[in-house]
Structure formats: structure tokens, C-alpha cells
Amino acid sequence: MRRWFDGADRPPNPTWFAADDPVVRAALDHLHAAPSAPWTVETLARRVNTSRASLAARFRTSVGEPPMGYLTRWRLTLAGDLLQTPGVTIAHVARSVGYTDAYSFSTAFKRHVGVTPSEFRRHRPVLAGGEWS
């Protein structure tokens, strides 16, 4: 997870903790409250009473990435925590964070984190010199 969080594709100075835009704060509140919901930019924009284009632009300006990119990262962060819980299956983790099946979750997790959920679970993510140890 650290490698992913420190990756070059991440915003250099994430500002979502200090987002001063009330629309963006409301959108973040919704995403955090229900990460497994089937969000789209349109449904999120409706929830915060603005247009898709306005939400997308304001979100990117405040957070440094598009709403759905942020949601993916948030879901996979939560998944990383859940994968450390003994007895919780990968299928359960997938459903808990909004994926319909373990395969699509595992594919997304590997694409973003760099290892499969099973590898992540086995290695308790510890980085030594940029490599999994």
C-alpha cells in the first residue's frame, strides 16, 4: 500500500482533508459514508445538488484527482485494512468495498497496489527499499 500511496500518479499534495469547497466536502462525506454504493459522477452530483461537470471540475481542483479515481483509491484503502482481518474472505472484502465479485476486485487491487489481495494479506505490506519483503 505504501508504494501505491507514494506512487508518481498520486497528487503531490493531497488536499482532500482540507477541502474548502462545501460541495466537494459533501461529496467526500457521501463517498466515505457509503463506499460500497454504486457511485457514478452523476449520482454523486445529484446527491450534492450540482452538475456532473461542475462536481468533476471542483473535485479535481480541491482533491487533485477525479471523484471516481478518489473512490477507487478509498475503496482499496479500506480493502487493505479488511484484508488484515483474520477469517474475512476476499469475496467478502470485495463486496464490502463495492465490487460485485472477487475477480474484478482482485484485478483492480493488483492494478493499483501492485500485488494480489492474497499476496498483500500474506506479506502484511512491509516495504524494504521499495520492494515487498
Specify the higher pLDDT residue, 12 or 114.
Answer: 114
Across the range 77-95, mean pLDDT stands at: 94
Confidence band, pLDDT 50/70/90 cuts, at residue 132: very low
Give the chain's domain count.
Answer: 1
pLDDT in tens, 3-46: 545 555 555 445 445 578 999 999 999 999 999 999 999 999 99
Which triple of cell numbers denotes residue 33? Answer: 459514508
pLDDT, residue 42, reads 97
pLDDT, residue 120, reads 93
- Does residue 90 carry a pLDDT above 80? yes
pLDDT in tens, 38-77: 999 999 999 999 999 999 999 999 999 999 999 999 999 9
The enclosing domain of 40 has a CATH number of 1.10.10.60
Specify the higher pLDDT residue, 132 or 60.
Answer: 60
Domain residue limits at 96: 2-132
pLDDT, residue 119, reads 94
